[in-house]
């Protein structure tokens, strides 16, 4: 990597390693496809992006434009993933092989196997993971559903059946999934917008300890746009360290996530700076106490 600004003067926390990374992966979703290739945002922050995911809106973009963007990502050493909803559509239409052959020619090398609406059983999902792996794709198996009614592994909105989640994740990994993805709306519900769901957090930690956090991609996104992601990132980093894997990151949030990974921003209260100032009282800077998220930083009102 090129020398970064002031790196010869100011010492900051270092990441565990450069790309390709096994842990500490950042998966970006919905990067705007540009006519001539990846967006300026992705080019600027490419060193911190491990994978770009194409969800359903990608299907409305000109295929030649998509091909240029895919080629550009791969040239930047960024893996390219076809999202779960395109997979579900292909599954329900019996077009998995045709989709697989087409995306391979375009340069996509990761396929996500999920079941939000297609009602795949765990055996269906395992079969699809094995199919894609056999054809040379890296695969991700998602666990959890956005809607409680469609999620057999949830008791209510913010509580899960820990044993079922663990079993499903382990079975997908055993059949060949490179990672299991923990669905973002489930992760947010278990942690709480203001980190308030202590029972749900305990359940999430139980899952991570059984499966191994290095094998899990924690999706963090805000479906309704009414609360931020930084405190969720901060909680996960506090629990599992800065090399935790994150999915569904907005391109405009790459720099912010990287700053939280280094403990040098207001979420969660500049832990790396506090760690130095107080004489490194914990073994790792990310274990510094979290702030009280009952009192949060709010944006000022916009007057029109």
Asked if 242 and 263 count as a contact pair (C-beta separation under 8 A), the reply is yes
- pLDDT > 90: what percent of the chain? 83
Radius of gyration of the chain (CA): 19
Q: What is the pLDDT of residues 186-212, one digit of tens each?
A: 999 999 988 999 999 999 999 999 999
What is residue 53's three-state secondary structure? strand
State the pLDDT at residue 295: 66
The pLDDT tens digits for 20-66 are: 999 999 999 988 889 999 999 999 999 999 999 999 999 999 999 99
Dihedral sign for Cα 194, 195, 199, 201, please. Answer: positive
| Average pLDDT over all residues of the chain | 93
What pLDDT does residue 224 have? 67
Please compute the mean of the pLDDT values over residues 125-130 and round it to a whole number: 96
Instruction: Measure the CA dihedral 144/145/148/150, to 10°.
Output: -110
Least confident range of 68-82, 95-109, 205-219, 290-304: 290-304
Mean pLDDT, rounded, for 232-239: 97
- As a three-state string, the secondary structure of 167-181 is HHHHHHHHHCCCEEE
According to DSSP, the residues that pair with 51 across neighbouring strands are 27, 79
Query: How is the chain split into domains, by residue range?
Result: 26-264
Distance between CA atoms of 123 and 168, rounded to whole angstroms?
A: 10
Segment 278-295, tens digit of pLDDT: 999 999 999 999 988 776
20 preceded by a cis bond (ω within 30 of 0): yes
CATH code 3.40.640.10 for 26-264: no
Of residues 114, 107, 93, the one with CA closest to residue 136: 107
- The pLDDT of 68-92, averaged and rounded, is 96
């Amino acid at each position: 990597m090129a020398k970064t600004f002031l790196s010869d003067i100011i010492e900051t926390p270092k990441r565990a390693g450069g790309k390709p990374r096994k842990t500490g992966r950042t998966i970006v979703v919905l990067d705007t496809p540009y006519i001539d290739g990846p967006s300026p945002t992705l080019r600027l922050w490419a060193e911190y992006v491990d994978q770009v995911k194409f969800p359903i809106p990608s299907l409305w973009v000109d295929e030649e434009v998509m091909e240029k963007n895919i080629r550009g990502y791969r040239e930047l050493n960024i893996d390219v993933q076809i999202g779960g909803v395109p997979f579900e559509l292909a599954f329900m239409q019996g077009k998995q092989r045709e989709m697989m052959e087409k995306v391979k020619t375009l340069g996509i090398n990761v396929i996500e196997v999920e079941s939000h609406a297609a009602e795949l059983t765990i055996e269906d999902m395992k079969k699809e993971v094995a199919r894609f792996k056999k054809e040379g794709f890296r695969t991700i198996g998602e666990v959890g559903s956005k809607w409680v009614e469609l999620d057999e592994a949830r008791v209510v909105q913010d509580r899960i059946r820990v044993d079922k989640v663990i079993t499903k994740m382990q079975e997908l990994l055993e059949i060949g999934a490179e990672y299991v993805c923990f669905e973002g709306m489930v992760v947010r519900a278990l942690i709480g917008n203001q980190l308030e769901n202590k029972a749900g957090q305990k359940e999430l930690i139980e899952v991570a300890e059984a499966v191994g956090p290095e094998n899990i991609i924690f999706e963090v996104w805000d479906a309704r746009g009414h609360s931020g992601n930084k405190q969720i990132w901060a909680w996960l980093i506090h629990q599992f360290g800065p090399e935790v894997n994150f999915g569904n990151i907005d391109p405009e949030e790459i720099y912010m996530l990287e700053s939280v990974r280094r403990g040098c921003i207001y979420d969660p209260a500049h832990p790396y700076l506090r760690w130095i100032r107080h004489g490194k009282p914990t073994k790792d800077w990310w274990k510094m106490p979290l702030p009280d998220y009952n009192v949060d930083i709010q944006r000022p009102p916009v007057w029109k």
